[in-house]
Structure 1
Amino acid sequence: MLTVMRAPSRYVQGANAILELEKHVSSIGTKFYVVADEFVMNMTKEKIEQAFGGDTSKLVFEEFNGQSSMTEIRRIEELLKMSGCDAIIGIGGGRTFDTVKAVGHFSKVSVIIVPTIAATDAPCTALSVIYNDEGEFSEYLFYPKNPDVVLVDSTIIAKAPVRFLVAGMGDALGTYFEARTCLNTKSANLVAGAVSQAGFALSKLCYEILRDYGLKAKLAVENDAVTPAVEKVLEACTYLSGVGAENGGLATAHSIYNGFTILKQCEKTMHGEIVAFGTLVQLILEDQPMEEIENVIDFCLTVGLPITLNQIGLTDYTSEELMRVAQAACKEGETIHNTQGGVTVTEVYNAIVTANAMGEEYLQLA
């Protein structure tokens, strides 16, 4: 298997970066289809127009309906064709990006991503997570190239509720551990290649930055402040996690997330929050050293990530529901099968209940 490494063509990050958007996209498009949900559109439309010097002839705005489903992808694809735009800009969060990346791929136009939160590593990846119209995980779509431009305005993100940044740290938390699994088992990464040294190094650096700067970044964002720690963590959550995961591969943590999407109780729990719990499940499933598990639990407790089922929305559940989660996590094609020696549904169920018991134990000690 050949080693494959991919990343966005351009990554831009810093305070008030959105005001320089045209400078970084003018070489890849002449007219831009801007997609955002109603809240984000109201927050950023004026800034986008300002970035283009008030020349609104280069911009067409469309509201996103909130779900990265094939229904929404096809709707926006048709509107894009009628608009005459040759590039699409997604502004907001993960599901907006997943939709915009799909539309860009099917329509063969340039893709620009502008996150307003740091809740997932979706901005940099060449894939979309697709849900059905009810919000349950459906499939991954993989693309031949990454977004053309990813622009991260740290001033905007620092003003978002801190829960988004913490969720982003949860999503990024799994990056190193999942890449390590793929490296050790010689599993393919998300671009159908062997894990490169560069990809693995990025995933490891991602974890180190979270561990060293996560709390400082959280405290700064709680006070609407942008500090060097915030910039480091934003880069970890957005670029290092996205490029690290894509080139390092996924394993159990993200399959556990996919499994929990079948339960209505978890609908209000963010992707990264469940991935954090899924990382704990992965470490138990792989029987990793207790010292490493404790380090992950300590990090989660420090920044406020969940380590129990109750914390991801399961205040009341049955063993049958957890078994359904385990079965969904083990479906054919899930990345959990990158685990050394393979896994069974029963083993995954046992790891979930053990992770919960361990989390409850540490919460009592905290």
Structure 2
Amino acid sequence: MSVGNAVNATIQGARFPGRYLQGAGSLARLGEEAALFGQRVLLIVDRGIYARYVERIRAACQNLDHIALEQHGGDCTEAEIARLRQIARDADVDVVVGLGGGKTLDTAKAVAWHQSCASIIVPTIAASDAPCSALAVIYNPDGSVAYDLFLPRNPDLVLVDTALIAQAPPRFLVAGMGDALATFYEAEACRLSHAKNPFGVHGLPVAWALARQCRDTLFEFGAAALEQCRQQQAGEALERIVEANILLSGLGFESGGVAAAHAIHHGLCELHATHDYLHGEKVALGVLAELRLQQAPEAVWQQVFDFCQRVGLPTSLAQLGITDPDEAQLRQIAERACRQGEIIYNEPFPISVERVVAVLDTLR
């Protein structure tokens, strides 16, 4: 190959967190793991778990010279990032640790990036694939999505204590399955359309292997994992689904690409009625809409629909609080999903607002 042809060749790639550790009781390792990156640590703790876990967090980090413990404000907004950046600057931290759900973790990633320091992510729920990604979803104060902040690197460490996840409400685990459900179908859309992944290159074949493994794990272990979570047991099925929700989905979407399901999620977030529903719950409906847009074989669509029903994911707009939507509401969702530059255009066919409206109308 000549030098000129080499320069013009298609660049492919994949991205991963620095390390990933998963297992019951792994929170106890937080201090020793953080010490690998520095002795001054900002711990951003989800307000929903702060009171319950703050003493365990302190105990795990007693080996460190300085810890600044902050309760997260609730949303990953520019204002919350700015507030925590100031605390990180004042404490001259080496490491930013996020503990909790997706919005807290995204905030921690953004703060670490702005401060040019290491990041450690400790999810206490498996409600999305946010923990492993180099992405932070920034929200407006009203709860709508403002923009996606793409970061230059993934977290340095993702530490997943499955005992904590097993104690969380099962709804979170189910929502994570909804988010993970999109991984294969969106990556496959990007493969067919030759779309680039979130960091601007074409995915390597490993991306589709991971995405396929993610889908197959959900279908095989999803129902059993939900039952183990209801019993607060970190059994084999739950371990497999946590891996799928957090690791396989995270690697699959970042390396393979995203498309209509998440774009429709963004559209759903425009309606106030959906704000009490979780990210993965809205993404699951986005997958069903995406498959209709793709004119997927009925057997494929039915398999996904049946899975959603089996584990309790929404299969209609009404189940997301959008009861009897009018044309204006459907168009509002579709226009946000189809705005210029949106990921829905990674689908391998022409996209229009009217086509999305028609699909949404079938999912009342």
TM over 0.5: yes
SS at match of 1:299: helix
SS at match of 2:12: coil
- What corresponds to 1:31 in structure 2? 40
CA distance in 1, matches of 2:122, 2:350: 38
- What corresponds to 2:19 in structure 1? 10
CA distance in 1, matches of 2:132, 2:222: 20
| TM-score normalised according to structure 1 size | 0.95
Q: What is the CA distance between 1:252 and its match in structure 2?
A: 0.3
Q: What is the CA distance between 1:38 and its match in structure 2?
A: 2.7
Contiguous gaps of at least 5 residues in structure 1 = 357-366
1:42-81 paired onto structure 2 within 5 Å:
42-52=51-61, 54-55=62-63, 57-81=65-89
CA distance in 2, matches of 1:288, 1:324: 25
- What corresponds to 1:214 in structure 2? 222
Letter in 1 for 2:297: P
**Would the aligned equivalents of 1:126 and 1:146 in 2 still touch at CA under 8 Å?**
yes
Question: How many positions carry a matched residue from both structures?
Answer: 355
Listed one character per residue, the Cα deviations across residues 230-259 of structure 1 (whole Å, up to 9, x for unaligned) are 000000000000111100100000000000
Listed one character per residue, the Cα deviations across residues 87-134 of structure 1 (whole Å, up to 9, x for unaligned) are 100000111111111111111010100001111110000011111111
- What corresponds to 2:116 in structure 1? 108
Letter in 2 for 1:205: Q
- RMSD over equivalenced CA pairs, Å: 1.1
CA distance in 2, matches of 1:101, 1:352: 34
**Would the aligned equivalents of 1:88 and 1:112 in 2 still touch at CA under 8 Å?**
yes
**Would the aligned equivalents of 1:49 and 1:56 in 2 still touch at CA under 8 Å?**
no
Q: What is the CA distance between 1:214 and its match in structure 2?
A: 0.1
CA distance in 2, matches of 1:38, 1:181: 37
**Would the aligned equivalents of 1:4 and 1:192 in 2 still touch at CA under 8 Å?**
no
- What corresponds to 2:198 in structure 1? 190
1:1-366 paired onto structure 2 within 5 Å:
1-52=10-61, 54-55=62-63, 57-356=65-364
Listed one character per residue, the Cα deviations across residues 38-64 of structure 1 (whole Å, up to 9, x for unaligned) are 332222221222223x34643110111
**Would the aligned equivalents of 1:202 and 1:240 in 2 still touch at CA under 8 Å?**
yes
SS at match of 1:12: strand
CA distance in 2, matches of 1:20, 1:56: 12
Q: In terms of mean alpha carbon deviation, does 204-213 or 315-324 score higher?
A: 315-324
**Would the aligned equivalents of 2:85 and 2:111 in 1 still touch at CA under 8 Å?**
yes
| Runs of 4+ with >4 A deviation | none
CA distance in 2, matches of 1:191, 1:340: 19
Q: What is the CA distance between 1:148 and its match in structure 2?
A: 0.3
Listed one character per residue, the Cα deviations across residues 257-299 of structure 1 (whole Å, up to 9, x for unaligned) are 0001110100101110010000000000010100000000110
Letter in 2 for 1:211: F
SS at match of 1:39: coil
**Would the aligned equivalents of 1:189 and 1:246 in 2 still touch at CA under 8 Å?**
yes
Listed one character per residue, the Cα deviations across residues 204-231 of structure 1 (whole Å, up to 9, x for unaligned) are 1000000000000000100111110000
Listed one character per residue, the Cα deviations across residues 298-343 of structure 1 (whole Å, up to 9, x for unaligned) are 1001101010111111124212111110000001121100111320
- What corresponds to 1:363 in structure 2? none
CA distance in 1, matches of 2:165, 2:245: 12
| TM-score normalised according to structure 2 size | 0.96
**Would the aligned equivalents of 1:111 and 1:147 in 2 still touch at CA under 8 Å?**
yes
Letter in 2 for 1:209: T
CA distance in 1, matches of 2:46, 2:219: 32
CA distance in 2, matches of 1:127, 1:251: 15
Contiguous gaps of at least 5 residues in structure 2 = 1-9
What percent of counterpart residues are identical?
38
Q: What is the CA distance between 1:192 and its match in structure 2?
A: 0.8
**Would the aligned equivalents of 1:284 and 1:355 in 2 still touch at CA under 8 Å?**
no
SS at match of 1:50: helix
SS at match of 1:355: coil
Listed one character per residue, the Cα deviations across residues 69-97 of structure 1 (whole Å, up to 9, x for unaligned) are 11111111111100121110000011111
